[in-house]
Amino acid sequence: MTRIVCRQLAPRIGDLPFNRELSAAAIRDAAGADVIVLPELVTSGYMFGSPAEAAAVAVRPDHPLFAEWAAAAGDAVVIGGFCERGDDGLLYNSAAVVDRGGVRAVYRKTHLWDAEKSIFTPGGRPPPVVRTAAGPIGVLICYDLEFPEMTRLLALGGAHLIAAPVNWPLVERPPGERPPETVIAMAAARVNRTFIACCDRAGTERGQEWTLGTAIISPDGRVLAEAGEGARAAADVDLRTARSKALNSRNDVLADRRPDLYSPLLERRAPS
């Protein structure tokens, strides 16, 4: 069994030293986990007023904080968001995959949300599937989950788990209903027969409230664990069950695809 822990944290905007210790402490607190997921931009906060403010807390993948994550993780794999300064001088909303050996992969958010477009440059490479001690893990960030092409791409790449650091702004919804972002993740897990772990953030930042929507979802689309107003969600799962994409003896969600019919249509956009 693989123990997944999502740590729902409240980073401080623009306070790298505080967030550095907050994230490392959260990893240490998740001792015994095999996979630990942290929120989007956990090292920096989210509600930047300008690119210059973001640049002041941007780090590269060789920053010592990732060595601290690796040391705190022990045998676990950590996936967490950070404000990245690229070698090209541009800023990226990124996620690092870290284990005992250090940074295994960095993914730059492909689909930027709202004011992010005035701060960050969108990533230009597909999301990775990282072969880890826990199993193959794919990485997306927040709004990326709303594009079915992205989750399908990771499923085709062999991901048994999609880890998604997120910052979901609170939106109105009818009483008793799940957040729409969670519903999308549930559907993505079911149609791709893969586990999805979404780690949201907590607190209020510059007037923005967050959904507190942290959830771990099974390949049949069921929510296995939620954080709600708490600090964590945890679930023990068998990631190997995501190897099979069969719905029954006759149907398989990947084998039944008909890309010969609809792939060409994906390149078109209907006239408005």
Catalytic residue positions? 40, 109, 142
Burial of 234-257, coded b for 16+ CB within 10 Å and e otherwise, reads bbebebeebeebeeeeeeebeeee
Residues paired with 35 in a beta bridge: 4, 77
Which residues of 90-159 form beta strands (DSSP E)?
Answer: 91-99, 102-108, 129-132, 135-139
User: What is the phi/psi pair of residue 189, to 5°?
Assistant: -65, -40
Sign of the CA dihedral with 39 first, then 179, 224, and 229 last? positive
Query: Letter for the amino acid at 155?
Result: A
For residues 170 and 15, is the Cβ–Cβ distance under 8 A?
no
Per DSSP, the residues of 5-58 read: EEE---PPTT-HHHHHHHHHHHHHHTTT-SEEE--TTTTT-S--SSHHHHHTT-
Q: Provide the CB-side half-sphere exposure for 13 (13 A, CA).
A: 13
| Helix (H) or strand (E) segment spanning residue 70 | helix 64-73
Tell me the CA distances in angstroms from 31 to 22, 117, 238, one per residue in order: 15, 36, 19
